[in-house]
């Protein structure tokens, strides 16, 4: 499965560098070479890999085709357009921004049907209030769309490329609110609209029982968004390599499923219905948070793992991991170039492939024996219990340290390439926050109920606030150190490829060495 996933990804990467015809030509050459050089028993595998390569290239080529009816093809002649709000509007004090899915456009020849998405920015004047628009609301916008502008400076974020990866090739801005006419509001009737309403309920519930700064962090942990965070706090999370805590990912899915399983057991849900309930819960969470690559990857992996038992299949983490990669890339091939996708897959690869090897290495040292004292405890029963608890926490901390080291090794070059820094405090910072995240996540999730309960909201508010303060304090402590992060120049792609080849070789050697013993 790993080889097929890599071949599929290589096909997408090749189609990005060269035309589809060139990719097919390259695949043809490889095919001929394989038939000539490879042994007969190797040929079927090679043919499968070449097919995966061609499929990846074809999928990317199809994805890059802009339909003839896309609004970007008429951008210059459009004076107004109609459609629906296609994303949860991001609201800032003086403006809001959202994706608008177009169904009709007005040109000099009158109204005609069209398709495609527009990134719409709405600006409010000093005394004006932003319009209350929600997901799926139907509206008419009187504005001329324009293509996004290319960056003209080195090191500048390319908004054009970012939008293109989401299939958006046109922008529009509205500075006079009379340019927007809401035609109907039925967003809440769709499942995504209802999920987004639930998301707003979560944000307001969290804000009701926590102070503003802490509420922004808790909302970030629960809903995987940075938009509520103060800039300094965000900078500290970035410098300490703990930003993943605020990104919706597998960790959120894991904690949610863990809490859900606990509740299902308490209310005695029949096991065969538990996986259906868990799947529905994950789907709801994805709709609420949005289709971020890291979350979709986690959702696909969770779904495959949950479906394995009822379908009477054996699911291994590695196969599920690579299968989720293929599924995600088949849905949106341009995700391959998304930093969230790259970091998410690199981190999970580190956890399932590199961390076990490091653990095996560590188990032979004194550090690896921390918390593994299995001698019978003598004396007072309470002291023995405390010692057992301390041992368990020590083992958890060692596991977090190993996982963080593995993730830092594997994601390091990607972070350096996209963000130009290497965090030197990632390990202690992650160890400090790792045990607090489940508490904050559970507190945030429960706030939607507890904020209505007389005394519970006080207690939950205190627990959430103090846990968040402890986490932010730890992150700030490590983030404000002079050398918490070192700036580096973006390494060349070839150097990154070389790094991973060396890493893979070293890990393969270590795996074989420890397997022998």
Q: Are residues 114 and 170 in contact, defined by beta-carbon separation less than 8 angstroms? A: no
Please, what is the minimum distance in Å from the beta carbon of residue 485 to another protein?
9
Binding track over 218-257 against another protein, x by CB under 8 A = ----------------------------------------
Q: Which is nearer to another protein, 156 or 365 (CB)?
A: 156
Does 161 bind another protein (CB under 8 A)? Our answer is: yes
Residue 171's nearest CA partner among 198, 196, 194, 148 is 148
Q: Which is nearer to another protein, 487 or 512 (CB)?
A: 487
Of the candidate spans 12-20, 154-162, 288-296, 300-308, the one that interacts with another protein by CB under 8 A turns out to be 154-162
Q: Which is nearer to another protein, 263 or 505 (CB)?
A: 505
**Strand 168-174 to 117-123 pairing:** parallel
Please, what is the minimum distance in Å from the beta carbon of residue 210 to another protein?
29
Q: How many CA atoms lie within 13 A of 168 on its CB side?
A: 23
Of the candidate spans 3-11, 361-369, 390-398, 492-500, the one that interacts with another protein by CB under 8 A turns out to be 492-500
Please, what is the minimum distance in Å from the beta carbon of residue 512 to another protein?
18
Binding track over 418-457 against another protein, x by CB under 8 A = --xx------------------------------------
Residue 184: φ, ψ to 5°: -160, 160
Q: Which is nearer to another protein, 391 or 420 (CB)?
A: 420
Residue 54: φ, ψ to 5°: -65, -40
* DSSP reduced 3-state for 373: coil
Does 487 bind another protein (CB under 8 A)? Our answer is: yes
E-assigned strands of 378-429?
421-423
Does 152 bind another protein (CB under 8 A)? Our answer is: yes
Q: Are residues 104 and 82 in contact, defined by beta-carbon separation less than 8 angstroms? A: yes
Q: Which is nearer to another protein, 40 or 156 (CB)?
A: 156
Of the candidate spans 80-88, 138-146, 349-357, 490-498, the one that interacts with another protein by CB under 8 A turns out to be 490-498
Task: Pick the binder of another protein from 90, 158, 373, 380 (CB under 8 A).
Answer: 158
Q: Which is nearer to another protein, 6 or 284 (CB)?
A: 6
Contacts of 461 by beta carbon, 8 Å cutoff, 6+ apart? 209, 210
Tell me how far apart the alpha carbons of residues 429 and 119 are, in angstroms, rounded to a whole number: 37
Tell me how far apart the alpha carbons of residues 357 and 406 are, in angstroms, rounded to a whole number: 9
Does 506 bind another protein (CB under 8 A)? Our answer is: no
Does 36 bind another protein (CB under 8 A)? Our answer is: no
Q: Which is nearer to another protein, 462 or 493 (CB)?
A: 493
Of the candidate spans 152-160, 182-190, 398-406, 428-436, the one that interacts with another protein by CB under 8 A turns out to be 152-160
Q: Which is nearer to another protein, 36 or 487 (CB)?
A: 487
Does 488 bind another protein (CB under 8 A)? Our answer is: yes
- The number of beta carbons lying within 10 Å of the beta carbon of residue 110 is 7
Of the candidate spans 131-139, 212-220, 436-444, 485-493, the one that interacts with another protein by CB under 8 A turns out to be 485-493
Please, what is the minimum distance in Å from the beta carbon of residue 155 to another protein?
3
Does 502 bind another protein (CB under 8 A)? Our answer is: yes
Contacts of 289 by beta carbon, 8 Å cutoff, 6+ apart? 199, 223, 224, 225, 248, 295
Could you tell me how far CA 12 lies from the centroid of its own chain? 20
Binding track over 111-150 against another protein, x by CB under 8 A = ---------------------------------------x
- The number of beta carbons lying within 10 Å of the beta carbon of residue 188 is 14
User: Which contacts of 265-273 are long-range, i.e. CB under 8 A and separated by 24 or more positions?
Assistant: 272/310
Tell me how far apart the alpha carbons of residues 134 and 138 are, in angstroms, rounded to a whole number: 9
Contacts of 228 by beta carbon, 8 Å cutoff, 6+ apart? 203, 215, 216, 219, 220
* DSSP reduced 3-state for 146: strand
Compute how many residues bind another protein; rule: CB under 8 A.
Answer: 27
Q: Which is nearer to another protein, 390 or 495 (CB)?
A: 495
Does 489 bind another protein (CB under 8 A)? Our answer is: yes
Task: Pick the binder of another protein from 25, 339, 462, 495 (CB under 8 A).
Answer: 495
Please, what is the minimum distance in Å from the beta carbon of residue 458 to another protein?
39
Of the candidate spans 30-38, 437-445, 460-468, 487-495, the one that interacts with another protein by CB under 8 A turns out to be 487-495
Please, what is the minimum distance in Å from the beta carbon of residue 415 to another protein?
13
Task: Pick the binder of another protein from 39, 40, 109, 157 (CB under 8 A).
Answer: 157
Q: Are residues 515 and 507 in contact, defined by beta-carbon separation less than 8 angstroms? A: no
Tell me how far apart the alpha carbons of residues 102 and 104 are, in angstroms, rounded to a whole number: 6
Tokens 């921004």 belong to 97
Tell me how far apart the alpha carbons of residues 96 and 292 are, in angstroms, rounded to a whole number: 20
Tell me how far apart the alpha carbons of residues 318 and 297 are, in angstroms, rounded to a whole number: 13
Task: Pick the binder of another protein from 111, 486, 508, 509 (CB under 8 A).
Answer: 486
Task: Pick the binder of another protein from 178, 494, 512, 517 (CB under 8 A).
Answer: 494
Could you tell me how far CA 497 lies from the centroid of its own chain? 23
Q: Which is nearer to another protein, 40 or 153 (CB)?
A: 153
Tell me how far apart the alpha carbons of residues 181 and 138 are, in angstroms, rounded to a whole number: 9
Q: Are residues 119 and 163 in contact, defined by beta-carbon separation less than 8 angstroms? A: yes
Tokens 């599924």 belong to 327
Please, what is the minimum distance in Å from the beta carbon of residue 242 to another protein?
19
Interacting residues with another protein (CB under 8 A): 150-158, 160-161, 420-421, 486-492, 494-495, 497-498, 501-502, 505
């Amino acid at each position: 499965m790993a080889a097929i996933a890599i071949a599929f990804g290589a096909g997408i990467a090749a189609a990005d560098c060269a035309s589809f015809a060139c990719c097919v030509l390259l695949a043809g050459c490889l095919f001929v070479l394989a038939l000539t050089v490879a042994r007969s028993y190797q040929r079927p595998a090679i043919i499968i890999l070449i097919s995966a390569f061609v499929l990846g290239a074809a999928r990317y080529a199809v994805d890059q085709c802009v339909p003839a009816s896309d609004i970007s093809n008429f951008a210059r002649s459009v004076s107004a357009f109609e459609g629906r709000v296609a994303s949860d509007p991001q609201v800032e004090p003086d403006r809001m921004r959202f994706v608008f899915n177009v169904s009709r456009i007005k040109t000099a020849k009158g109204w005609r049907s069209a398709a495609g998405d527009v990134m719409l920015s709405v600006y409010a004047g000093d005394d004006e209030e932003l319009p209350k628009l929600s997901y799926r609301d139907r509206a008419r916008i009187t504005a001329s769309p324009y293509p996004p502008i290319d960056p003209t400076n080195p090191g500048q974020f390319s908004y054009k490329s970012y939008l293109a990866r989401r299939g958006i090739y046109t922008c529009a801005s509205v500075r006079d609110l009379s340019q927007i006419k809401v035609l109907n509001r039925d967003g809440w009737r769709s499942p995504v609209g209802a999920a987004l309403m639930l998301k707003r309920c979560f944000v307001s519930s969290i804000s009701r029982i926590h102070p503003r700064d802490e509420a922004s962090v808790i909302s970030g942990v629960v809903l995987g968004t940075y938009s509520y965070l103060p800039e300094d706090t965000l900078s500290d999370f970035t410098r300490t390599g703990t930003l993943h805590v605020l990104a919706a990912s597998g960790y959120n899915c894991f904690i949610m499923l863990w809490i859900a399983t606990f509740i299902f057991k308490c209310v005695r849900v029949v096991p065969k219905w538990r996986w259906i309930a868990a799947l529905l819960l994950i789907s709801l969470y994805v709709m609420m948070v949005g289709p971020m690559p890291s979350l979709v990857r986690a959702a696909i992996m969770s779904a495959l793992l949950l479906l394995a038992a009822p379908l009477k299949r054996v699911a291994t983490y590695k196969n599920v991991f690579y299968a989720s990669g293929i599924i995600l890339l088949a849905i949106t091939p341009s995700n391959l170039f998304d930093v969230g996708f790259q970091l998410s897959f690199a981190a999970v690869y580190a956890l399932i492939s590199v961390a076990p090897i490091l653990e095996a290495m560590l188990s032979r040292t004194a550090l690896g024996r921390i918390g593994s004292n299995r001698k019978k405890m003598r004396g007072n029963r309470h002291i023995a219990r405390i010692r057992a608890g301390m041992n368990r926490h020590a083992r958890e901390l060692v596991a977090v340290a190993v996982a963080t080291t593995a993730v830092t090794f594997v994601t390091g070059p990607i972070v350096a390439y996209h963000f130009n820094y290497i965090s030197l405090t990632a390990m202690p910072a992650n160890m400090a926050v790792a045990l607090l995240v489940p508490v904050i996540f559970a507190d945030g999730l429960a706030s939607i109920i507890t904020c209505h309960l007389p005394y519970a909201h006080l207690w939950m508010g205190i627990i959430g606030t103090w846990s968040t303060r402890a986490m932010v304090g730890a992150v700030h402590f490590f983030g404000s150190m002079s050398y918490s992060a070192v700036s580096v120049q973006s390494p060349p792609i070839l150097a990154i490829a070389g790094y991973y080849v060396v890493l893979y070789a070293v890990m393969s050697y270590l795996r074989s060495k420890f397997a022998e013993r």
